[in-house]
Amino acid sequence: MKAERKNYTPEFKSKVVLELLREEKTLSQMASEHGIHHSLLVRWRSQALEGLSSVFSDQKLHELKAAHEREVTTLYQEIGQLTTQLTWLKKKSGMK
């Protein structure tokens, strides 16, 4: 029988990594306290430090703005199309 893997929430991982970065306890103490293997804690810390630079990056902001602009453009196109269809239907039905 296979043992089931534990899934940790991002909130839990970030809390533990912040605790690790404070360096108030040793890695072994943290591992035993949370019931997590020390190599997993090292991996989480490494992932957090690697991703830290993206927090301050303007690239994500630019990507979000571009996605927003594309969505707005698409919605305006759809509004134009629906307005044209409504006008045509009103004209054909004799309504004004």
What does the alpha-carbon distance between residue 44 and residue 40 come to, in Å, rounded to a whole number?
Answer: 6
Under 8 Å between Cβ of 74 and 47: no
pTM to 2 decimal places: 0.56
pLDDT for 96 equals 63
What does the alpha-carbon distance between residue 78 and residue 76 come to, in Å, rounded to a whole number?
Answer: 5
Burial label for 41, CB within 10 Å (0-12, 13-18, 19+), is: buried
Nearest CA among 1, 17, 20 for reference residue 28: 20
pLDDT for 63 equals 86
pLDDT for 88 equals 94
Q: Along the 96 residues of the chain, how does pLDDT read in single tens digits?
A: 677 888 899 999 999 999 999 999 999 999 999 999 999 999 999 999 988 877 777 777 788 899 999 999 999 999 999 999 999 999 999 876
